[in-house]
Amino acid sequence: MANTTSASLKLTVQATGENSGTWGQITNTNLLILEQAIGGYDAVGVTSGATLTFSNGVLSNGKNQVIKLTGTITSNVDVVIPDSIEKTYIVENATTGAFTVTFKTSSGSGITWSATDKGKKILYSDGTNILEGVTSTGDITTGDITSGAITGSGHIIPGANDTYDLGTSVAVWRNIYTGDLHLSNQLKSEGNIVDGSKGNWTLQEGKNDIFIINNISGEKFKIKLDKV
């Protein structure tokens, strides 16, 4: 009975009694391919697109777990893996040039980085198409996070009402850039420390004045400004 080849990583599946004298070498190669699939890294130039290889029984760039796409692109490009491969990837679009990059299968669909997206994605192939492994993480519960710039495409909402601060008494934000400023203590358990009442106000900017709106009564005021 002859050797066969596995469907996705193209490992050599050795038949009983075959490969006398070379069994160890073939097994070692299979182990190296597994290592490549679990933690391997390769930088692949995609200046005009690329087709990743999956050769039978040998190390191949498409079998790496982490793929970094490099090069200067002057048009939209595709990075292609063969059909029928089932595999996970971490892919970084490190190209330069304002064009899209699509990671796809030969005959199926894929995932596209926009012309301005030079980020990383977790992807997987189901044997037909490339899909994104993490599109929404849902709720995450974690401890302190140390990060650089954070760009969000949704709301940032505290986990509990009237519980958490933005900054501290010894670590303040340098500047706050905002549109209208909404001020309300209606959801607090107690009113203000002056007269104990609760209010709901909005500050808005005019060309020559700053306006304040009482959202409870609907009355509108402007702040008197003295030029200095």
Task: Dump pLDDT digits (tens) for 163-204.
Answer: 999 999 999 999 999 999 999 999 999 999 999 999 999 999
Note the pLDDT of residue 135.
Answer: 66
The yes-or-no verdict on residue 30 having pLDDT over 80 is yes
Note the pLDDT of residue 150.
Answer: 80
In angstroms, what CA-CA distances link 138 with 36, 113, 129, 133, 181?
31, 22, 24, 13, 29
Work out the average pLDDT over 33-46. Answer: 97
Which of 157 and 42 is assigned the larger pLDDT?
A: 42
**What is the value of pTM for the model shown?**
0.64
The yes-or-no verdict on residue 137 having pLDDT over 60 is no
Dihedral angle of Cα 177, 182, 187, 188, to the nearest 10 degrees: 60
Note the pLDDT of residue 134.
Answer: 78
> How far, in Å, CA of 185 to CA of 198, rounded?
6
Give the burial class of 94: count Cβ atoms within 10 A of its Cβ; 0-12 exposed, 13-18 middle, 19 or more buried: middle
> How far, in Å, CA of 221 to CA of 35, rounded?
69
